Chain A
Amino acid sequence: MNRRDFLRASIGGAAAALASSGASARPNLTPAPEAIGMLFDSTLCVGCKACVSACKAVNGLPPTLLGDDVQYDSARDLSHETYNVIKVYTNGKPVAKDSETDGFAFEKRSCMHCVDPGCVSVCPVTALLRHPLTGIVTYDKDACIGCRTCMTGCPYNVPQFDYDNPWGMLHKCQMCNQKGVERIDKGGMTGCAEACPTGATLFGSRTALLEEAKRRMQLRPGEIYNYPRGDVRQPSSHHEKAVPHYQHHVWGEKEAGGTNVMHISSIPFDKLGMPPLGERSHVSISEGVQHTLYSYMALPAVVLGGLTWLVKRNTDDEGDDV
C-alpha cells in the first residue's frame, strides 16, 4: 500500500464510520426495572409552595429571599439553593385556573430523572449516575471536577452550580435519597410529595404513576374523581374533585426517552416552558457518533499506525529535524 492508498483508505474509513454511525447508534435507554418517580398534576396544584419549603427542609437548603420579605420563600427558579420550585403561567386577565386564555396555572420545576439522562452521558468523571434499579439520577461531589458539561447536556437546565462559592458544587434533586437523607431506601417518599396537600405531586413507581396519569385522561371532564395523596400505591388519603380538561399528553412518557418525573396539565406543555423535545434523546446520537469513531480505539489505532509509517518515511527522505 502506498501513501496515497493509505490516505484514501483512512479518510474513507473515517467518513464511512461517521456516515454509518447514524444506523449503528444506540437506541434510547429504557426505564430502570424498578424505576420510581413522581407525577405532577398541574390542575391540582394550588401554588402553596409547601413542596418548596419541604424540599429545602429535607435537603438542608436556605430560603431564597427577595428584599426584606422573610415571610415566604421567594425562589423564582432552580438554583444552587432551590431544587424544586413552583412557577406560574398567566395569560391575559388571569381569572380562570387552568385556562389557556385569560387564565393561570402552576408548574413544577425539578429534576425530571430522565430515563436516558443527558447529564449522566456527558459527565467525564462519572459524577452523575442513574441508579440501576430505581433510575434515580444521583450526584457525587467527590468525583465532580466542576466542568458543568452536565448543565449543557440537561434538556431542562436542572443541574445548578454554586458560582458564588469558591468551593462550590453542583446542586440538583436526588429524590431525597442522597447519603444522609436516604428517604427512599428507608421506604419513605420524597419531601415534596409528602408535603403536597392536594396530591398534585404524587410519589410512586413509574409504572403505577403512568397508569394513574392515563386513567385521569380517560375520565370525562366534570366527572368526580377520588384523587390520591402521597404514594400512589398506598395513598395516605384521598379527596374528591371534578375532573378538568386534561391535555392528552403525559409529559415524560416519551420525551427524549422519557422521564421518571412526569407531568400532566390542562395547558399545552410548551406554554408551561417545557423544552421542544422529540422522542429520541440527543445523547443517544452523540454516544453513537463517539462509539463509532472510538470503538475499541480500533480506528485511532489503525490511523496512528499508518501515520507513524508515513511520517517515518517522510522524515527519512529528508534526513531532517523538526
Chain B
Amino acid sequence: MSHYQPLGRRVVTLPFVFLGVIALIGLYFLAERFINGMGAVTNLNGGFPWGIWVVYDIVVGTALACGGYALAVTVYVFNKGKYHPLIRPALLASLLGYGLGGVGAIIDMGRWWQFYNLFLPWQMNFNSVMLEVGLCVSAYIVVLMIEFLPTVLEKFKAEALLKKLNKVLFVVIALGVLLPTMHQSSLGTMLIAMGWKVHPLWQTLHLQPLLAVLTAFTMGFSIVVFEGSLSSVGFRRKPETHLLSGLGRIIVGLIAVYLAIRFGEILVRGKLGLVFAGDLASLMFLIETALFVYPLVVLMSPRGRGNARSLLFAAVSMLLAGTLYRFNAFLITLDPGPGYSYFPALPEIMVTVGLVAIEIMVFLFVVKTFPVMPREDHAAAPNA
C-alpha cells in the first residue's frame, strides 16, 4: 500500500475560480507581449534589462522551488528517512516552481524562437555562467519530471513500469541533488559579472555562489515547512509539526552559517559603514538581515520549533529574507548609472501573478487527484 493518497476533494472551488480569473488576466498581457513586443507590457530599459520576469520568475522562483532539492538531500544523502512523507508535495512544488522558471525564461527571451541555440554544442560559450544556468535548469526540470513520475504511475496503476523505474531512480535522485547545487550557486556567480552595478553590500565576488546556494537551501527547507503548515490548516489535516520542527533545526544551522559568512565578508572588506549609511541600500540590508535573524531566534528554542504557529511565521520570514536578498542584489539596489530606473509595469506584474496563479491551480488539482499527500497516520506517529 502506498504511503500517499489523493485528497479526493472537489477541484473547482471558489478560490480555484478566483485564481483562474487572475490567470486569464495574466495570459491576456502575455499575449500582448508576444504580439507587440516586451516594451508593450514591461518597463524594461537599457540599464535594467532584467525585471521581475527574470528576478522573480527565475532567480527567486527557482529558489522557492528548492523544497524538493532540500528534502532530497536530507532523506537520501543524510539518510533521514522519517522526512520521507514530506517529499512528494515538495517535489510537486519544485516541479511547478521550476516549470514557472522555464516558462519565465522563454517569455523573457527577446529572441525566444531561437532558444534552441542554447542546446547546440557549437553555439555554446563555456565561459558563460548563463549557459550553465540555462542547461542545468533545463536538465533539472526533466529530472523533477522523472522524480515525480512514480506518483503518476501509481495513480494509473502501472505497477510493472513503476517497479522498473524504482530500480534506476537512485541515479535520477543523485542528479536531482547535484543539478540544483550547480545552478543555484551559478545564479550567484552571475552577479560577479554585473560588477560595479551591484551594490557593494551585495557584491561579494568569490562568495556569491556559496551565499546563493546556502540561501536556496534554506529557502527550500522553509518552503517545505510553509507548505506543510499551510496544507494542514487549509485542508484541515493533522499537522506534521514533529517532522517540520526537525527541519527547523536544520534551518537554524544554515542561517547561522550564512550570516557568519555574510557579515564576515562585510567586516573583512571594510564595508560595515555602508550598513549604517542611512540610504536605501542600508535600509534594505537591515530589513533583509532582520528577516534572516527572526527565524534564527525563533527556531533556536525547542519551544519555538514545537509550535506550529511560530514555525509557520519563522518559515515565512526566511522565505521573505531569501527573496529580498535576491531582489536587493539583482534589482532594488542595482545601479546601472544615471538616467536609468525601473519599477515593474502593472501588466508586467500581472503576467507574473497570473503565472503563479496557474502554478497554484495545478498544485491544488494534482494534490486532490494524485497520491501526493502523506497518509494522515504518518502525522500521528511522533517518530515514524
Contacts and interface: CB of A to CB of B under 8 A. Distances in A.
A and B, one complex? yes
A277 B76 contact: no
B181 to A, nearest CB: 8
B13 interface: no
Contacts, number: 227
A322 B35 contact: no
A286 B189 contact: yes
Given A18-B209, A276-B196, A290-B132, A124 B109 contact: no
B124 A152 contact: no
Q: How many of chain B's residues touch chain A, expressed as a range?
A: 35 or more
Interface in B155-191: 162, 166, 169-171, 173-175, 177-178, 181-182, 185-186, 189-190
Interface string B32-53: 0011111110101111011000
A146 interface: yes
A164 B39 contact: yes
Given A157-B46, A163-B44, A300-B178, A126 B130 contact: no
B360 to A, nearest CB: 23
A165 interface: yes
A311 B170 contact: yes
Contacts of B46: 77-79, 151, 157, 160-161
Contact of A21 (B36, B193, B206): B206
Nearest to B175: A304
B127 A121 contact: yes
B111 A149 contact: no
B195 A145 contact: no
B381 to A, nearest CB: 16
Contacts of A22: 206
A152 B194 contact: yes
Interface in A89-134: 118, 120-127
Given A307-B178, A311-B173, A126 B166 contact: no
Interface stretch (A33-41, A136-144, A237-245): A136-144
Given A78-B46, A144-B114, A304-B175, A289 B169 contact: no
B171 A308 contact: yes
A214 interface: no
Contact of A18 (B186, B206, B340): B206
A135 interface: no
Given A77-B46, A166-B36, A322 B205 contact: no
B110 A147 contact: yes
A220 interface: no
B382 interface: no
Given A78-B46, A125-B124, A146-B111, A315 B130 contact: no
Given A125-B124, A307-B177, A321-B150, A286 B193 contact: yes
Nearest to A119: B193
A5 interface: no
A286 B76 contact: no
Contact of A317 (B47, B49, B79, B129): B79
A127 B111 CA distance: 12
Given A321-B150, A322-B147, A314 B50 contact: no
A303 B77 CA distance: 12
Contacts of A157: 46-47, 336-337, 340
A88 to B, nearest CB: 13
Contacts of B84: 318, 320
Interface in A46-75: none
A233 interface: no
A282 B132 contact: no
B81 interface: yes
B127 A315 contact: no
A146 B128 contact: no
B8 interface: no
Contacts of B196: 155, 275-277, 282
A122 B193 contact: yes
Given A121-B193, A147-B130, 10 more contacts: A121-B127, A146-B109, A155-B196, A163-B39, A166-B35, A286-B192, A289-B209, A311-B170, A314-B81, A317-B81
A-B CB proximity, top 9 nearest: A146-B110, A163-B39, A146-B111, A282-B195, A124-B131, A148-B49, A151-B49, A286-B192, A307-B174
Interface of A: 3, 7, 15, 18-19, 21-22, 77-79, 118, 120-127, 141-149, 151-153, 155, 157, 160-170, 256, 273, 275-277, 282-283, 285-287, 289-291, 293-294, 300, 303-304, 307-308, 310-315, 317-318, 320-322
6 contacts: A18-B206, A18-B210, A122-B193, A142-B114, A143-B123, A145-B110
